[in-house]
Structure 1
Amino acid sequence: MNDEEMEEMNDDGLVEVERHGRVLVLRMVDAARRNVLSQGLLSCLAREFAAAERDEDTHVVVLAGLPEVFSLGLSREGLLALTGGASVGSTESAVSAPVRCALPVVAAMRGHAISGGLLLGTYADVPVLSDRSCYGANFMRYGISPTAGATYVLGARLGEFLANEMLLTARNYQGAELRGRGVPVQVAPHDEVEDRAMAIAEEIAAAPRRSLILLKRQRTARFRAAVREACLHEVTTFETLMALPETRRRIEAGYPTWTVES
């Protein structure tokens, strides 16, 4: 079996690993729950990103999802655990894995990406969105303040005014609308997203691995520092709101288990 054909599924069956020469594709495939960010999926991603860093044959990582769903954010169970006092720290760390990976990461965000799912993709060095999929940060729909660096990352990636509107209104935006609003990330026709992401990854992968690692380290230093500062400001408000009975009621009454509103 050659590189183009080789595919490996990890033990938990939530992330598939595909090698294409110097490019490693990590594909989230929890179809049953539409790639919600369960602890299992987050653990798988952390493990596979770490393995990619150790692999001298890998120069670039592509993070992908299902054709219609990239990721719908934190699971309902995960959110309810946070209302009971669970620490948000491990979730923040896992969602920011693409920027913390030493190698360049391209996100093929072909399907819907909501809240934590949108953050996961926009933490990548190069996100590619679909013109027909929905993207949003619906924290306020449940009375939850943004976390995991959202107050900085969304503005840095999508533009400050759009990110502010997205966070306040908690509505979803179709990729074509985001392109019309002038987002500085690529928005491709739905069926071309993964090809576009792979083409970008292969261009990047032509450079020496050590050079890519050093460039990413330099390019992300200020970004990561700003994310850390944002998280420090976010956590107090987040923990205060998550402790309110109303927040738990909103999550229990309206938070979907795996569906997405468009």
Structure 2
Amino acid sequence: MSTGGAAATDPVLVEEREDHVVLRLNRPEVRNAIDLATVEALHDACGRLEKDPTVAIITGSDGTFAAGADIAQLRDRRREHALAGINSAVFDRIHRLPMPVIALVDGHALGGGAELAYACDFRIGTPSTRIGNPEPGLGILAAAGAAWRLRELVGEPLAKEVLLAGRVLSAEEALAVRLLNQVVPADELEEAGQRLAARITAQAPLAVRLTKSAFHAPRDAHPLIDNVAQAVLFETEDKHERMTAFLERRKEKR
């Protein structure tokens, strides 16, 4: 993947690393509010990650993940915009990326920012992390995944407090219900994301991809999808080499 000559003013900066790609939300002047330009940039990044499957890290800038959708744009949207699923489409695409996606959630992740975090496979926060969906207070609902995805992540009672009563979760509360996988000091956040990315990329890449696909498959697709995925993996050279290395290491320990 290439950054394609991204400018410092682009709404999402794409940073290539050795074993992963960082997508950095880059609208600090509005606390990384998600506008149409951000959505388009995320679609572009997804297209590249679909063609060249790589672990992705999504993070914010200036101590904020994303404070929500851009209210100035949202206020002027009408029925046809809602039916187009502007934010829900890109968040669903992120959720379906071939390789895992890690959200580094520093500061506020509210509204659309929270829904972006929910769409990721892992979420690492800092003590200042705050996650919630205040949409009903603005006369709308959380329609980009939170209305159903949050219940899957934390259970119905707590999801209803967030979605219907405006509860904003602190980092400690989000960690307790495993909405956050980990909480680290802000200056260690990117390092924690890199460590997790390294743990993922140490696994067999195709095994990770197929495991993620099987994990998110509908219940009635199992066990067929598991058996087919395993059949593919059984034929790979990677499987043979890794198992041979395992057996040789075990032999050396005897």
TM over 0.5: yes
TM-score in terms of structure 1 length: 0.74
Question: C-alpha separation between the residues in 2 aligned to 1:34 and 1:111?
Answer: 10
Structure 2 match to 1:71: 66
* Residue 12 of structure 2 corresponds to residue 15 of structure 1: yes
1:118-149 deviations in Å (ceiling 9; x for gaps) = 11011111111222221110011112123122
Alignment: residue pair count: 217
* Residue 121 of structure 2 corresponds to residue 121 of structure 1: no
Structure 2 match to 1:170: 166
Structure 1 match to 2:31: 34
Identity percentage over the alignment?
Answer: 25
Structure 1 match to 2:154: 158
Runs of 4+ in 1 over 6 A off after TM superposition: none
Q: Which amino acid aligns with 1:104?
A: P
Structure 2 match to 1:47: 44
Q: Which amino acid aligns with 2:54?
A: H
Q: Which amino acid aligns with 1:31?
A: P
* SS of the residue 1:221 aligns to: coil
Unaligned runs of 5+ in 2: 222-254
Question: How far did 1:158 drift?
Answer: 2.7
Q: Measured at CA, do residues 91 and 182 of structure 1 come closer, stay the same or move farther in structure 2, by a change above 3 Å? A: closer
Q: Measured at CA, do residues 78 and 198 of structure 1 come closer, stay the same or move farther in structure 2, by a change above 3 Å? A: same
78-87 vs 150-159, which deviates more?
A: 78-87
Structure 2 match to 1:138: 134
Conserved 8 A contact 1:132-1:176: no
Match of 2:81 among 80, 86, 102: 86
- Which fold has the larger relative contact order, with Cα–Cα distance below 8 Å and residues 6 or more apart in sequence? 1
Question: C-alpha separation between the residues in 2 aligned to 1:28 and 1:100?
Answer: 19
* Residue 101 of structure 2 corresponds to residue 109 of structure 1: no
Q: Measured at CA, do residues 158 and 198 of structure 1 come closer, stay the same or move farther in structure 2, by a change above 3 Å? A: farther
* Residue 217 of structure 2 corresponds to residue 221 of structure 1: yes
* SS of the residue 1:25 aligns to: strand
Q: Which amino acid aligns with 2:64?
A: V
Question: C-alpha separation between the residues in 2 aligned to 1:19 and 1:136?
Answer: 30
Question: How far did 1:176 drift?
Answer: 2.0
TM-score in terms of structure 2 length: 0.76
Q: Measured at CA, do residues 9 and 169 of structure 1 come closer, stay the same or move farther in structure 2, by a change above 3 Å? A: farther
1:22-64 deviations in Å (ceiling 9; x for gaps) = 2111111111222111000111011012112222xx5311111
How much is the aligned-residue C-alpha RMSD, in angstroms?
2.5
Question: C-alpha separation between the residues in 1 aligned to 2:107 and 2:211?
Answer: 29
Question: C-alpha separation between the residues in 2 aligned to 1:182 and 1:121?
Answer: 15
* Residue 91 of structure 2 corresponds to residue 95 of structure 1: yes
Question: How far did 1:150 drift?
Answer: 1.4
Question: How far did 1:197 drift?
Answer: 1.8
Question: C-alpha separation between the residues in 2 aligned to 1:195 and 1:159?
Answer: 30
* SS of the residue 2:73 aligns to: helix
Conserved 8 A contact 2:104-2:123: yes
* SS of the residue 2:217 aligns to: helix
